[in-house]
Amino acid sequence: MATVVEEKALGSLDVNQQLFHAMTEAAQSAVQMCDTKIRCVGVSSMPGQESGKITGMIGVHGKVSGFVSVNMSERFAIHAVEGLLSEKFDKLSSQVIDGAGELTNIIVGGIKAALANTKWGFSNITVPSVIVGQNFMVSYSKGLEFLTVTFEHEDEDAFLIDDRMVHVSMSLLTL
């Protein structure tokens, strides 16, 4: 069920509600498995440049074709993977990068389940790829349904807002 903030964000834009709810519920559920919380703070139907240093990407295929990406700060990635694996990580490592890919996989699996019986359903997903770095841009074709949901990680120790941001984006083409 959507929060008041999510309903306000959704009400201010003409976005696909099925996709919005699937993405929001899947992301919140996956992060909860990491023993932490996020809350929706924005939604956009236009691509933008996300602020995080770690981006997990997974291709999806079925009734639709496209991909889902999860862009997160290094701080969030470390924190989430620590919760997921019940281990402590002091810095970005190969285990944290692999864990970010697994978190992306869990989110996409939740979206897949939520959209299974809709026109947006997909039955196949690719292996996650993880991009480490910032200031890259993804180019999108015309005719795609695009949605980004922005979340804030509830991290009381994070001083910078960019350290709290998580962006889940989906671009889909109906076949």
Q: How far is CA 40 from the centre of its chain?
A: 11
At 16-50, the pLDDT tens digits run: 999 999 999 999 999 999 999 999 999 998 887 78
What mean pLDDT comes out for the span 116-124?
Answer: 95
- Look at the chain and report how many structural domains it folds into: 1
Residue 23, domain extent: 4-174
Q: What is the CATH number of the domain that holds 55?
A: 3.40.1550.10
Q: What is the pLDDT of residues 76-105, one digit of tens each?
A: 999 999 999 999 999 999 999 999 999 999
> What whole-number distance in Å separates Cα of residue 27 and Cα of residue 42?
14
pLDDT tens per residue, range 56-82:
999 999 999 999 999 999 999 999 999
